[in-house]
Amino acid sequence: MRLRISGTDPWSVMVASFLLLTGLGVVALATAAVAWLMVEGIAPGVLPDLTTVVAVAVAVVTLEVVLGTCLATLSTLLYNISAQYNGGVEVAVTDDLGPTPAAVQALLFMARARARTRRYLRRGRRNANRLFWHSGCARDDQVEERPWRPS
């Protein structure tokens, strides 16, 4: 099925780009703080204080969010104007084909692992003495008490 995108809503693009760029800004702030901590740990006194680094990073991130949101909204407006003349972008869309083969394999693996775990736990409840036999663990009532002696 072929569909044509003849226009987009500038408000929704602005909100989506603001949220995306804000998330990237938070990641950039965390990266700046971690990088400062690493450099300060390797070579103390080389960089300015953490407050200065964070203040500069906040200024850069704020500028990035504001300019990026404005550019995305402006791009949407320009696309809407050009879509009036050329008809927009044509996109091929298909129906949902179901899960991918990798997802099917993962689901089957998880179902088998769950069934094995349930069987193992059921068997362990019936025979508590042999629950941890293969790992070498023993129950408390099977361990004999010996006095402690320093070696």
Distance (Å, whole) CA 87 – CA 84 = 6
Q: In the chain, what are the domain boundaries? A: 2-92, 101-142
Task: Give the position of tokens 């950039």.
Answer: 28
What is the pLDDT, as a whole number, of residue 46? 87
Distance (Å, whole) CA 97 – CA 63 = 42
What is the pLDDT, as a whole number, of residue 18? 98
Strands (E), 73-116: 89-92
What is the pLDDT, as a whole number, of residue 151? 53
Distance (Å, whole) CA 85 – CA 146 = 91
pLDDT tens string, the chain, 151 residues long: the values are 888 888 999 999 999 999 999 999 999 999 999 999 999 999 888 889 999 999 999 999 999 999 999 999 999 999 999 999 998 888 888 777 777 888 888 889 999 989 888 888 877 665 555 544 445 555 555 555 555 566 5
90, β-bridge pairs: 4
CA geometry: angle 115, 121, 122, nearest 5 deg: 90
What is the pLDDT, as a whole number, of residue 133? 47
- Residue 5 in 3-state DSSP? strand
What is the pLDDT, as a whole number, of residue 150? 61
Task: Give the position of tokens 């809503």.
Answer: 9
